[in-house]
Amino acid sequence: LSESPVLFKQELQNEEVKEGKQVKLTCELSKPDTPVKWMKGDTVLYASEKYEFKQRGTVAELIIRDVKSIDS
């Protein structure tokens, strides 16, 4: 039995935020509780003071604190 692939129901949207503030990026998947890997280019992001990950059902969130221009 082949599983159907996990798809984006809602893709990541661009967000604008002032430097020093925090921003929340959200996407929605077609399957609940699917493991998500957040990346910036080819770099995998890990939970830290700067990055926080949340996942509820099909919704995955990335919170970036103390945003700088390099985070764009």
Q: Cite the beta strand spans of 1-72 per DSSP E.
A: 8-10, 23-29, 39-40, 43-44, 51-56, 59-64
| Residue 25: count of CB within 10 angstroms of its CB | 14
Nearest to 58 by CA among 32, 25, 36: 32
Architecture of domain 23-71 in this structure: Sandwich (2.60)
> 39-55 pLDDT, tens per residue?
999 999 999 999 999 99
pLDDT at 2 over 80: no
pLDDT tens, residue by residue, 7-21: 989 888 889 999 999
pTM comes to: 0.86
